[in-house]
Structure 1
Amino acid sequence: MQQNSVYSASSRPSVLETNKVLRNTYMLLALTLVFSAICAGITMGMNLSPMAALGMTIGAFVCLFIVNKQADKASGLIWIFVFTGLLGGSLGPMLNAYLGLPGGGALIMQALGATALVFFALSGYVLTTKKDFSFMGGFLMVGLIVAIVASIANIFMGIPALSLAVSAAIVFIMSGLILFDTSRIIHGGETNYIRATVSMYLNIYNLFTSILHLLGAFSSDD
């Protein structure tokens, strides 16, 4: 009886800390997504060129390394907004291109809705069941590497079917990573909410762009 009470007392701070990380992650994630959307709207209004968008994407991934290094400091909060702002802004030309298509606005809204549905459903599942999805880490990493290599190869080959296959694969991989990253937070595998936010943001960002690509491809076939 005494051992149980000692165990309960010692585990309580860990649970409280995990809940704090989870709460801070979702709060920061919401703020960065809103900021990212604002930046995307600004670059859409500016009619940003694809080359400028590529430069912003490269800049964002440079910031990614800085965010990871500064994640334990207050300055990490500034860098995560720089990172998500650049990535959000880089979406401007792509979103403008879809808006130029018949029903393009509806496609973007459908992609946003599908992304939100997948994220909330998968995160809610993990939070409700408390299942540990850490076993998926190796498989997801291999899948992500294969998808990146195939995507780079397709830049030179230009095969539409391969492009669709890569987008579909990324949708499944990002869905798995949402399960994996949420599980890591609630089981104490990730204790830094800035790094956790970066992971979740990238999952959502890649999920949205891949779903939009698939919807755009299927709508053009009609």
Structure 2
Amino acid sequence: MAEQMRVASISREQTLATNKLIRNTYTLLSITLLFSAAMAAFAMTANIPPLNIFIVLGGYFGLLFLTNALRNSIWGLAGVFALTGFMGFTLGPILNLYIQALANGSQLVMMALGGTGVIFLGLSGYALSTRKDFSFMRGFLFAGILVAFIAALAAYFFSMPGLALAVSAMFMLLMCGLILYQTSEMVNGGETNYIMATITLYVAIYNLFTSLLHLLMAFFGED
């Protein structure tokens, strides 16, 4: 009986810890998405030109490394807002280019935004409700993201639009998998740090949105 009570107590504590992790993650994610959107709106209003790709990559990986190093301290929150704010700021000029270049650019941006929201909520809801373990996807996602990133650089530097579209489609699939994986990790105890969980989900949403937007612009954009 004592052993059963101890096991039940441990299980209850684990459930409470998981619920707290999920609550903190989605609260922080919601706030950072709003902050990122505000920074994008600021960049659009100020007509900031597109940033150099080396500045974007350097800022992203630098802030990501900093946030990871500070993930167990209060300064980790500052890193989260610095990273998501920076990514939102870099997105603003891209949105301006699409909106100004295409007659239906604004509509396609809203479609991409709505589609991203539906996909994220659907995949997160599935992982949370089924509590299925998607940890088996870890290696595939790591390899796939690395390959897609290298292919994206090749498409950019060698001006290969066909490869760029393929990369966008690849990133969409990979980010869907990353959402399932990260949500599953929170539910099943593989991830216990809400700062890193937030960053992973934010990056997945950001890349999902930009990839979906690129595909919509390519196939449904009106000059």
Any residues of structure 2 matched to 1:182-221 within 5 Å, and which?
A: 182-220=183-221
Residue aligning to 2:126: 125
SS in 2 for 1:51: coil
Question: Which deviations, in whole Å up to 9, do the C-alpha atoms of 1:3-59 show, x marking residues without a partner?
Answer: 433211121111111110110000000000000000000000111111368635532
Q: Could you tell me whether the CA contact under 8 Å between 1:171 and 1:211 is conserved in 2?
A: yes
Structure 2: distance between partners of 1:141 and 1:78:
26
Q: CA RMSD in A?
A: 1.6
Residue aligning to 1:19: 19
Q: What amino acid sits opposite 1:73 in the alignment?
A: S
Q: CA deviation at 1:69?
A: 0.7
Q: What amino acid sits opposite 2:185 in the alignment?
A: R
Q: Could you tell me whether the CA contact under 8 Å between 1:53 and 1:93 is conserved in 2?
A: no
Please tell me whether residue 33 in structure 1 is matched to residue 33 in structure 2: yes
Structure 1: distance between partners of 2:125 and 2:51:
38
Q: CA deviation at 1:177?
A: 0.3
Structure 2: distance between partners of 1:220 and 1:188:
43
Question: Which deviations, in whole Å up to 9, do the C-alpha atoms of 1:134-170 show, x marking residues without a partner?
Answer: 0011111111111111112222332221111110000
- Give the TM-score normalised by the residue count of structure 2: 0.95
Runs of 5+ unmatched residues, structure 1: none
Q: What amino acid sits opposite 2:165 in the alignment?
A: L
Residue aligning to 1:163: 164
Any residues of structure 2 matched to 1:50-199 within 5 Å, and which?
A: 50-51=50-51, 55-56=55-56, 58-100=58-100, 101-199=102-200
- Give the TM-score normalised by the residue count of structure 1: 0.95
The number of residue pairs the alignment matches comes to 222
Structure 2: distance between partners of 1:77 and 1:53:
26
Structure 2: distance between partners of 1:52 and 1:81:
21
Structure 2: distance between partners of 1:4 and 1:183:
27
Structure 2: distance between partners of 1:99 and 1:129:
39
Q: CA deviation at 1:182?
A: 0.2
Runs of 5+ unmatched residues, structure 2: none
Structure 1: distance between partners of 2:158 and 2:195:
38
Q: Could you tell me whether the CA contact under 8 Å between 1:150 and 1:166 is conserved in 2?
A: yes
Identity %: 48
Structure 2: distance between partners of 1:125 and 1:187:
14
